[in-house]
Amino acid sequence: MRYKRLESGAFKWPPITDGVMRLTSAQLAALVDGMDWSRLHARDVTRPTATS
């Protein structure tokens, strides 16, 4: 059995919009780990272009 103890004693929950709380999988993992999920940002990745 595993458990985590929060340092500040509370999770920082995302806002609820239209009755739904939306999180990415990375944000959910951060939330469960007790981290501030709102500080996570996806990196912009340039898609490769085909050359002929």
Q: What percentage of residues in the chain have a pLDDT greater than 70?
A: 77
Tell me the backbone φ, ψ of residue 21, rounded to 5 degrees.
-105, 115
Roughly how many angstroms between the first and final C-alpha of the chain, as a whole number?
Answer: 56
Residues whose CB falls within 8 Å of the CB of residue 42, separated by 6 or more in sequence, listed in order: 24, 26
Give residue 12's pLDDT: 73
d(CA 19, CA 41): 24
pLDDT digits (tens, 9 = 90+) for 27-47: 888 878 777 777 777 677 888
pLDDT of residue 3: 67
DSSP H or E run through 20: strand 20-21
Helices (H) and strands (E) in the chain, counts: 1, 2
